[in-house]
Amino acid sequence: MAAPKYTVFNVHEPAELMEFLMQKMAGISRNKVKALLTNRVILVDNAIVTQYNFKLLPGMKVLMSKAKNNVEFNNPMLKIVYEDAYIIVVEKKEGLLSVSTEQQKERTAQHILSEYVKKQCRGNRIFVVHRLDRETSGLMMYAKDERTQNTLRDNWHEIVKDRRYVTIVEGEMEKDFGTIETWLTDKKLYVSSSPFDDGEGKQAITHYKTIKRANGYSLVELNLETGRKNQIRVHMSEMGHPVVGDERYGSEINPLGRMALHAFKLCFYHPVTNELMEFDTPYPSAFKSLLIKKQN
């Protein structure tokens, strides 16, 4: 008979993961627990957890692998920023679809993450919550079960507190900050915009702040009040300042070899523990270089 691969601890009352493990393994040091988490040998409900203060709830199962966990994640297009039993936050590179389609199933963030979680446990799955355009890079979140997916989708505006992007647009922005509000209609190949509600479109609100103007470009930070398809791209184009590299919505130049749009900040209340989660990434270095290059 094969030896069990895990030591299993049942959770009977709320606790943080660090305290729980120190209590279950009398005499173990905090540094030793942190080493176990770093080595990815602690799982909660079949999902690797590396956060020492992860909130445990009654009914959960904490598993400790008998060997260093060999479920590693290494993909040049995708980086895992945070993972627990319910959600996974990633940073996606430009050029990668976030959601599988009939035409493209395998080279997508959803598929890559699905393969990864199935290595932890065969029945594990990845559930789509929101998406980023293929050519947009940055932070996004997936759910690891259908209940969490529904919680996030049904309560998105209450759960998500801050979602920000940075872009480089053509030309120098006229204002330092402002708000764009239109109604967007998905036309399959592109999204059209109307200044008034024609009964077909969905309201789209984008708040913007101009960070820097130089070399015929503007670096702009955007805060989405709504999350419509191609919202930022359409709104910037409407203002006469298309996103650099966005040929579909009017850009005629592509100095970076990519669309200059990056989701750099994601803050939300955890759908199960209600803890405020905050993630951010630096502005892409290529964005900054475009504004310091001297034009001939």
**Helix ranges (DSSP H) in 103-200:** 109-120, 146-154, 156-159
* Distance between CA atoms of residues 86 and 204, nearest Å: 29
Contact criterion met (CB below 8 Å) for 200 and 177: no
Q: How far is CA 26 from CA 48, 55, 89, 226, in A?
A: 22, 20, 32, 49
Burial, 84: exposed, middle or buried (Cβ in 10 Å; 0-12, 13-18, 19+)?
A: buried
Contact criterion met (CB below 8 Å) for 18 and 38: no
Query: In 3D, which of 166, 136, 169, 133 has the Cα closest to residue 244?
Result: 169
* Distance between CA atoms of residues 276 and 233, nearest Å: 29
CB atoms under 10 Å from CB of 171, counted, come to 13
Catalytic-residue membership of 133: yes
Task: Pick the catalytic residue from 45, 84, 133, 246.
Answer: 133
* Distance between CA atoms of residues 50 and 230, nearest Å: 34
> Which are the catalytic amino acids?
133
